[in-house]
């Protein structure tokens, strides 16, 4: 069997970082199946467009004929499934696409993977992997002193996004349990780094700070997230793909809990330093706005299983990772200009309207 991996959603934030890391380090060939929604950006992958081990396929994971053809034609040894609608605020305003892609799309992909996998000869059949990339948000919200989420924490999704991801996780689990599909699921905390669409907290704040615009902090700014540098996440996925046990789930986190307000203040200080002081310190741009409905208070991940069993540890510290990220957004104006065109401006205007 050829060393080919089918990646879905590889033009998005994490998927494109993963593809670049994999092509740079390994010998696998990659097929990137991506619908190119507002969040997908082929510019992230422009350095590998001519790479013979890389093929881009424009399409929907829910298009079963297309997915079937890819399995038959390219005979992948694994699927790494990133494709999703991923923004909580958008899921609150319009959950339909979240059900369509995250639930129906994952189901379609699982069905085609199962049909393909069932016909594989041994040992290809046992070695096949369906790696499903999911989120810590399926576990719901923690109180200030609750222990971090572990792989055995009960699911309690609160947003339409989290509910759609939880549903997809359950289907993956069921396909392993019922049909024996060699599946693994990773549940990861908030990522940050290059190529993240600037609707998410960190890039939004960097760009607004750069431009002297208000920095909209939801509620009291005391919500806590466990932040992980995207390249550390990609290494964790590679470790699970290589050594993860079929049927298992692995929690991935940065052991790095931060309050939103602290992150935004730190971003202001780094932008002041890197881009030069504006008339007033950028902290003065911080504006507390109406809270997100159903806003989860705290997420924290217990990542001891992946650390113990697969030897993975995050390498980047938050201070250095955040600094690198701020510099990347400030130095890549063309990328920013590309993604902050019409559709992006419409979202910002609607979502942050007073």
Applying CB under 6 A, the residues found at the interface with ligand TYD are 88, 190, 200-201, 204, 216-218, 223, 225, 260, 292
39 binds, options ligand NAD, ligand TYD, none, Cβ within 5 to 8 A by partner type: ligand NAD
Q: Residue 164 and residue 99: Cα distance in Å, rounded?
A: 6
Residue the block writes with tokens 């540890």: 313
| Binding to ligand NAD, residues 172-211 (CB under 6 A) | 188, 190-191, 197
88 is in the binding site of which of ligand TYD, ligand NAD, none (Cβ under 5 to 8 A by kind)? ligand TYD
Three-class secondary structure of residue 224 per DSSP:
strand
- Cα separation, 114 vs 245, whole angstroms: 18
Pick the closer one to ligand NAD by CB: 39 or 215: 39
- Spatial separation of the C-alpha atoms in residues 344 and 19, rounded to whole Å: 25
Q: Is the distance from CB of 300 to CB of 148 less than 8 angstroms?
A: yes
Residue 249 in tokens: 């789930």
The reply to whether 137 belongs to the active site is yes
One character per residue 129-168, x = contact with ligand NAD (rule: CB under 6 A): ----x-x-----------------------------x---
Shortest distance in whole angstroms from residue 190 CB to ligand TYD: 5
Beta strands 228-229 and 191-192, pairing class: parallel
Q: Which helix (H) or strand (E) holds 258?
A: strand 257-259
Q: 143 or 311, CB closer to ligand TYD?
A: 143
Our measurement of the distance from residue 318's CA atom to the centroid of its chain's CA atoms, rounded to an integer in Å, reads 18
**Residues 38-57 within binding reach of ligand NAD (CB under 6 A):** 39-40
CA torsion, points 76, 171, 192, 208, in degrees to nearest 10? 120
Beginning with the edge strand found earlier in the chain, give each strand of the sheet holding 4-8 in spatial order: 54-58, 29-34, 4-8, 78-81, 129-135, 183-188, 249-252
Ranges within 93-132 binding ligand NAD (CB under 6 A): 101, 105
Indicate which residue of 85, 137, 226, 235 is catalytic: 137
* Cα 324 off chain centre by: 19
User: Which of 79, 84, 103, 205 is close enough to bind ligand NAD by CB under 6 A?
Assistant: 84
What is the nearest approach in angstroms of ligand TYD to the Cβ of residue 211?
A: 14
13 interacts with, out of ligand NAD, ligand TYD, none, CB within 5 to 8 A per kind: ligand NAD
Catalytic residues, which ones?
Answer: 136-137, 161
Q: Contact residues for ligand NAD (CB under 6 A)?
A: 8-9, 11-15, 33-37, 39-40, 60-62, 82-84, 86, 101, 105, 133, 135, 165, 188, 190-191, 197
């Amino acid at each position: 069997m050829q060393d080919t991996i089918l990646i879905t959603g590889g033009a998005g934030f994490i998927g494109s970082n993963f593809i670049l890391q994999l092509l740079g380090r390994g010998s696998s060939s990659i097929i990137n199946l991506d619908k190119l929604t507002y969040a997908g950006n082929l510019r992230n992958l422009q350095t590998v467009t001519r790479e013979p081990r890389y093929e881009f396929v424009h399409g929907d994971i829910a298009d079963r004929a297309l997915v079937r053809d890819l399995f038959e034609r390219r005979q992948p040894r694994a699927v790494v499934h990133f494709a999703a609608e991923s923004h909580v605020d958008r899921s609150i305003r319009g959950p339909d696409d979240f059900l369509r892609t995250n639930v129906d799309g994952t189901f379609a992909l699982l069905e085609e993977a199962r049909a393909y996998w069932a016909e594989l000869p041994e040992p290809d059949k046992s070695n096949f992997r369906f790696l499903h990339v999911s989120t810590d948000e399926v576990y719901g919200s923690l109180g200030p002193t609750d222990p971090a989420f572990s792989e055995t924490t009960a699911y309690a999704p609160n947003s339409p996004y989290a509910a759609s991801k939880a549903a997809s996780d359950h289907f993956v689990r069921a396909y392993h349990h019922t049909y024996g599909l060699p599946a693994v699921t990773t549940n990861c905390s908030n990522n940050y780094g290059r190529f993240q669409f600037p609707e998410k907290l960190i890039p939004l704040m960097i760009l607004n700070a750069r431009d002297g615009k208000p920095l909209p902090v939801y509620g009291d700014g005391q919500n806590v997230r466990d932040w992980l540098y995207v390249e550390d996440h990609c290494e964790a996925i590679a470790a699970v793909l290589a050594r993860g046990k079929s049927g298992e789930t692995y929690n991935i986190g940065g052991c790095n809990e931060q309050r939103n307000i602290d992150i935004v203040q730190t971003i202001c200080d780094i932008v002041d330093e890197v881009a030069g002081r504006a008339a007033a310190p950028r902290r003065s741009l911080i504006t507390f706005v109406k809270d997100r409905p159903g806003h989860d208070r705290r997420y924290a991940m217990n990542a001891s299983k992946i650390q113990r069993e697969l030897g993975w540890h995050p390498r980047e510290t938050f201070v250095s990772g955040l600094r690198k990220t701020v510099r990347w957004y400030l130095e890549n104006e063309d990328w920013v200009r590309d993604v902050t065109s019409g559709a992006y401006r419409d979202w910002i205007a609607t979502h942050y309207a007073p």
